[in-house]
């Protein structure tokens, strides 16, 4: 496992290189002769300095898969190896943080990819030009045409973040539960082979012991956690009732390039980074000793790829995807740097988080490669 995931992310962030646009640096263009063979074989290696735009890379290295280049350009720290037959895949939320990174990986491994996104929270500049894009709303629009001949479905679309679900529980229920139900129904009707559902570690809530294991009884503390749990239940039900092979991945505190850095609904890392950029105090709710299991987006994407190709997964299975390590909010603030202000604790936040990833190892052959 790499040991510099967050440090590398901070370095890229401070150079303005985490929004999908790394500029040419004083180091010049990177040496295609040294990198092309690796990328042509479908392996996306870490690349930090001297990066140029995708169009320039295409000119210099016309044989290199452009999606592999996007992954390297956007701060892909770990190596992803892509093998297997090409598939027809659909990614909901494919213009978002996790979804767009997943799209790049799918295209890079040779899949024929369709993106389904309404761009309400996703960004058009994150859309992969080698994928088909359908702008549609999962709640209201007809989905049948988009799902024709689709073999793999990755459902990453969601209105994430706990505060938003508290402010608007009905609207977020529609986006996170009704939309999930409609995606599962469309996939079942189309005869899709498998659906990978992006769930959340928030379903655990507070538990008496760590690490958090999949058999633990869920204890959701807020509407968002309830909604993600309902998505898991629907996924499992569709496996039992309709024969649709589903897998739910419980993602733990995902961070990395393309994460939200502004706006009202950000994770703590995004909040700290914006506060530091604006010269403000870093705000911590409570004593800051609460912990999270920060997981790099490249590891989450790799778990999705493995889940999509694993042959013996039990239908409806739930699998943790986390780094397996606790990091306190106080420590994150220290890494970002700057003065800190403590605010009253919020009643809807979990106290401690650490994933047990034994099932991911056993069923997917997956382990995190990027540590915080």
- Give the position of tokens 């629907």: 234
Question: For residue 220, what are the CA distances in angstroms to 63, 162, 202, 228, 233?
Answer: 48, 11, 7, 9, 14
Contact 73, 54 (CB under 8 A): yes
Cα–Cα distance between 364 and 308 in angstroms, integer?
10
Q: Where are the alpha helices (DSSP H) in 154-255?
A: 162-167, 169-173, 179-190, 223-241
Q: Which tokens go with 200?
A: 């959340």
Cα–Cα distance between 281 and 284 in angstroms, integer?
9
Q: What is the DSSP string of 232-278?
A: HHHHHHHHHHS---EEEEEE-SEESTT---SSSS--HHHHHHHHHHT
Q: Which tokens go with 121?
A: 């929270």
Task: Label residues 262-296 b or e (16+ Cβ within 10 Å = b).
Answer: eeebbbbbbbbbebbeeeeebebeeebebbbbbbb
Q: What is the pLDDT of residue 5?
A: 72
For residues 319-341, average pLDDT: 96
Cα radius of gyration rounded to whole Å, the chain: 20
H/E run at residue 97: helix 97-108
Cα–Cα distance between 300 and 366 in angstroms, integer?
10
Residue 99 — left, alpha, or beta (φ > 0 → left; ψ -120 to 50 → alpha)?
alpha
pLDDT tier, 225 (very low <50, low <70, confident <90, very high otherwise) = very high
CA angle, residues 257, 116, 268, in degrees to nearest 5: 30
Q: What is the pLDDT of residue 71?
A: 54
Taking each helix axis from N to C terminus, what angle separates 329-336 and 268-277, rounded to the nearest 10 degrees? 30
For residues 58-75, average pLDDT: 45
Question: For residue 370, what are the CA distances in angstroms to 24, 79, 299?
Answer: 25, 10, 7
Higher per-residue pLDDT: 262 or 289: 289
As a whole number, the mean pLDDT across the chain is: 83
Q: What is the DSSP string of 272-321?
A: HHHHHHTTPPEEEETTS--EE--EEHHHHHHHHHHHHH-SSPPTTEEEEE
Q: What is the pLDDT of residue 50?
A: 29
Q: Where are the domains of the chain?
A: 5-73
- Give the position of tokens 């459902």: 155
For residues 199-215, average pLDDT: 97
Q: What is the pLDDT of residue 183?
A: 98
Range name among 16-30, 39-53, 241-255 with the lowest pLDDT average? 39-53
The reply to whether 47 belongs to the active site is no
Contact 251, 198 (CB under 8 A): yes
Taking each helix axis from N to C terminus, what angle separates 97-108 and 66-73, rounded to the nearest 10 degrees? 140
Q: What is the pLDDT of residue 54?
A: 34
CB atoms within 10 A of CB 180: 28
- Give the position of tokens 């996306």: 44
For residues 306-319, average pLDDT: 93
Question: Which DSSP state fits 195?
Answer: E
Task: Catalogue the E-assigned strands of 40-173.
Answer: 43-44, 80-81, 88-92, 112-117, 132-135, 152-155
Q: What is the dihedral of CA 76, 82, 87, 92, to 10 degrees?
A: -20
pLDDT per position as a tens digit, 259-281: 987 665 578 998 999 999 999 99
Catalytic pick among 224, 234, 255, 265:
224
For residues 151-166, average pLDDT: 94
């Amino acid at each position: 496992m790499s040991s510099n995931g967050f440090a590398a992310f901070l370095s890229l962030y401070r150079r303005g290189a985490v929004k999908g646009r790394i500029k040419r640096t004083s180091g010049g263009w990177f040496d295609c002769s040294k990198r092309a063979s690796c990328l042509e074989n479908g392996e996306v290696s870490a690349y930090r300095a001297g990066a140029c735009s995708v169009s320039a890379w295409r000119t210099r290295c016309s044989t290199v898969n452009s999606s592999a280049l996007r992954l390297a350009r956007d701060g892909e720290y770990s190596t992803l190896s892509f093998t297997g037959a090409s598939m027809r895949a659909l990614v909901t939320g494919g213009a978002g943080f996790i979804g767009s990174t997943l799209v790049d990986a799918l295209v890079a491994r040779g899949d024929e990819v369709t993106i389904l996104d309404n761009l309400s929270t996703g960004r058009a500049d994150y859309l992969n030009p080698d994928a088909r894009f359908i702008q549609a709303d999962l709640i209201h629009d007809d989905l049948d045409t988009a799902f024709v001949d689709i073999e793999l479905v990755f459902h990453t679309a969601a209105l994430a973040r706990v505060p938003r679900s508290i402010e608007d529980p009905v609207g977020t229920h529609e986006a996170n539960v009704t939309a999930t139900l409609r995606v599962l129904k469309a996939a079942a009707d189309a005869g899709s082979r498998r659906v990978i559902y992006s769930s959340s570690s928030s379903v655990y809530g507070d538990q008496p012991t760590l690490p958090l294991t999949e058999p633990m009884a869920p204890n959701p503390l807020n509407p968002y956690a309830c909604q993600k749990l309902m998505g898991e239940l629907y996924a499992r039900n569709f496996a039992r009732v309709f024969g649709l092979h589903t897998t739910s991945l419980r993602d733990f505190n995902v961070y990395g390039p393309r994460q939200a850095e502004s706006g009202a609904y950000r994770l703590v890392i995004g909040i700290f980074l914006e506060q530091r950029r604006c010269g403000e105090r870093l705000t911590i709710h409570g004593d800051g000793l609460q912990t999270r299991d920060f997981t790099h987006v490249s590891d989450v994407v790799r778990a999705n790829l493995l889940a999509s190709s694993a042959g013996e997964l039990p239908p409806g299975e739930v699998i943790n995807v986390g780094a397996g390590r606790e990091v306190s909010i106080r420590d994150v603030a220290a890494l970002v740097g700057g003065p800190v202000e403590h605010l009253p604790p919020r009643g809807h936040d979990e106290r401690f988080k650490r994933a047990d990833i034994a099932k991911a190892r056993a069923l997917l052959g997956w382990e995190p490669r990027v540590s915080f």
